[in-house]
């Protein structure tokens, strides 16, 4: 690498100006989005349901003692119209502990609730990312910019899950049993915790496993105490219902990052698409098992866990890819050390296209609206547009691996944690 290349990449990757700009844009975007959630007419816009609206509606139903309606798609759509005056296909399939969380938010006006959740989870994500990446935090944020903007605008929980996984990895590296706390809290999205779960199990740190189990049991007990045992019947019914919706094409596949979504959108039948996805899941889990025993440096292990965990569930969405930014944070110094300006620009473009594909298609297609539809007679499936997020994600992971391969091969004393 030329003498001028390192300073240029370093100036960008460690730029405090870029970090300050991110903070300013985040506050501005959340402020505008809060108005759009609360009173869009002030901006001359109509109400359009976005992800956080589903959180708020589910929380409202739970506070009204109608948590079962949140877990039934037909009732959920009727509640959308009653509570916010609009309808959209947004079935609720989160585990009851997360419903308990959004119920607390629903006690506030939606604009305030959204702002608290978006800024709170973003702040948590930034703290964790800074602990991992150090001075390279601005560079990681630049690579993940489409994901940052997506989660801020929609109020999704990508920052929360990425922060929890990053926290686990930091605490695991510190060899403390407190690593079990973020692992246990991943009960809100357990399908994304397979990688760190296997790490805890095969790492044989039983204090971490015990702490995680205690957190999970506490979360389950609180949800059961709040809603009663029937909530688990409602939840399992919603999971079954969502499986049928996925097979019938109701979900916007172009926003999904799983192999199933890619294969289904390319015209394969539900069975063949799921078979292809399961084959990919077996490979991902197999690699995660290998990582659990292999003698590799911890930052490489962490990055691989973050990447491979995204290939387990068929339900993954683009906002879940925020987890990959945690992996990038662990290897950011290596990427900067080995990337030429041309390679860095190529990696940036590849990351932005991968992370921003779903949002771009969302802007081009009107999907998921269910105004006037009756679930008893069936909702019209969403437009099945081709999605290439999964193969692009694989390509991005390969590109990142190539840039770190040289250092990995030259290291003769791996630090296993």
Kindly state whether residue 417 falls inside one of the protein's structural domains: no
Q: Give exposure, 393-403, as e/b (b: 16+ Cβ within 10 Å).
A: bbebbeebeeb
Task: Decide: helix, strand or coil at residue 121.
Answer: helix
Each residue's pLDDT tens digit, 13-67: 888 999 999 999 999 999 999 999 999 999 888 888 889 999 999 999 999 999 9
Structural domain boundaries enclosing 297: 5-410
Tally of domains in the chain:
1
Handedness of CA 78, 81, 82, 83 (dihedral sign): positive
pLDDT tens, position by position, for the chain (417 residues)?
Answer: 444 555 677 778 888 999 999 999 999 999 999 999 999 999 888 888 889 999 999 999 999 999 999 999 989 988 888 888 777 888 999 999 999 999 999 999 999 999 999 999 999 999 999 999 999 999 999 999 999 999 999 999 999 999 999 999 999 999 999 999 999 999 999 999 999 999 999 988 999 999 999 999 999 999 999 999 999 999 999 999 998 888 888 888 888 999 999 999 888 999 999 999 999 999 999 999 998 888 889 999 999 999 999 999 999 999 999 999 999 999 998 888 877 888 888 889 999 999 999 888 777 765 444 443 444 334 455 555 678 899 999 999 988 888 776 544 444 444 456
Are the C-beta atoms of residues 359 and 318 closer than 8 Å to each other? yes
Task: Decide: helix, strand or coil at residue 256.
Answer: strand
CA dihedral 345, 350, 354, 357 (to 10 degrees): 80
**Verdict on whether the full-model pTM lies above 0.85:** yes
Kindly state whether residue 416 falls inside one of the protein's structural domains: no
Kindly state whether residue 331 falls inside one of the protein's structural domains: yes
Kindly state whether residue 376 falls inside one of the protein's structural domains: yes
Kindly state whether residue 415 falls inside one of the protein's structural domains: no
- Residue 290 CB neighbours (<10 A): 12
The span from the CA of 307 to the CA of 314, in Å, is: 15
Q: What is the pLDDT of residue 370?
A: 41
Kindly state whether residue 74 falls inside one of the protein's structural domains: yes
Kindly state whether residue 19 falls inside one of the protein's structural domains: yes
Q: Helical H runs in 106-205? A: 110-133, 137-143, 145-154, 158-173, 180-185, 194-202
Are the C-beta atoms of residues 62 and 103 closer than 8 Å to each other? yes
């Amino acid at each position: 690498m030329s003498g001028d290349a390192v300073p240029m990449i370093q100036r960008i990757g460690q730029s405090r100006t870029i970090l300050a700009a991110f903070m300013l844009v985040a506050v501005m975007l959340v402020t505008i989005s809060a108005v759009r959630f609360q009173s869009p007419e002030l901006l001359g816009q109509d109400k359009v349901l976005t992800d956080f609206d589903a959180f708020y509606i589910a929380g409202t139903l739970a506070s009204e003692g109608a948590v079962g309606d949140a877990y039934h798609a037909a009732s959920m759509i009727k509640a959308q119209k009653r509570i916010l005056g609009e309808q959209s296909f947004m079935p609720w399939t989160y585990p009851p502990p997360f419903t308990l969380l959004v119920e607390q938010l629903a006690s506030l006006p939606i604009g305030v609730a959204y702002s608290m959740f978006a800024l709170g989870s973003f702040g948590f994500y930034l703290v964790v990312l800074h602990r991992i990446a150090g001075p390279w935090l601005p560079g990681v944020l630049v690579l993940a910019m489409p994901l940052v903007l997506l989660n801020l605008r929609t109020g999704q929980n990508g920052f929360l899950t990425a922060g929890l996984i990053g926290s686990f990895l930091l605490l695991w590296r510190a060899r403390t049993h407190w690593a079990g706390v973020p692992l246990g809290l991943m009960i809100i999205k357990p399908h994304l915790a397979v990688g760190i779960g296997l790490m805890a199990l095969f790492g044989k740190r039983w204090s971490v496993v015990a702490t995680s189990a205690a957190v999970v049991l506490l979360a389950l007990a609180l949800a059961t105490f709040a809603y009663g045992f029937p909530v688990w019947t409602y939840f399992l019914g919603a999971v079954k219902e969502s499986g049928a919706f996925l097979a019938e094409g109701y979900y916007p596949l172009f926003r999904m990052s799983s192999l199933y979504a890619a294969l289904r959108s390319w015209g394969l039948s539900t069975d063949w698409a799921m078979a292809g996805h399961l084959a990919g899941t077996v490979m991902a889990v197999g690699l995660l098992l290998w990582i659990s025993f292999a003698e590799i440096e911890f930052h490489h292990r962490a990055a691989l866990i973050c990447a491979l965990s995204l290939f387990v569930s068929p339900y993954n969405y683009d906002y879940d890819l925020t987890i990959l930014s945690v992996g990038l944070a662990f290897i950011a110094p290596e990427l900067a050390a080995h990337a030429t300006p041309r390679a860095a620009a190529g990696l940036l473009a590849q990351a932005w296209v991968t992370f921003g594909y779903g949002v771009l298609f969302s802007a081009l297609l009107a999907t998921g609206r269910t105004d006037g539809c009756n679930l008893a007679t069936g909702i019209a499936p969403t437009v099945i547009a081709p999605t290439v997020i999964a193969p692009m994600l694989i390509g991005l992971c390969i590109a990142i691996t190539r840039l770190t391969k040289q250092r990995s091969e030259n290291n003769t004393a791996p630090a296993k944690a």
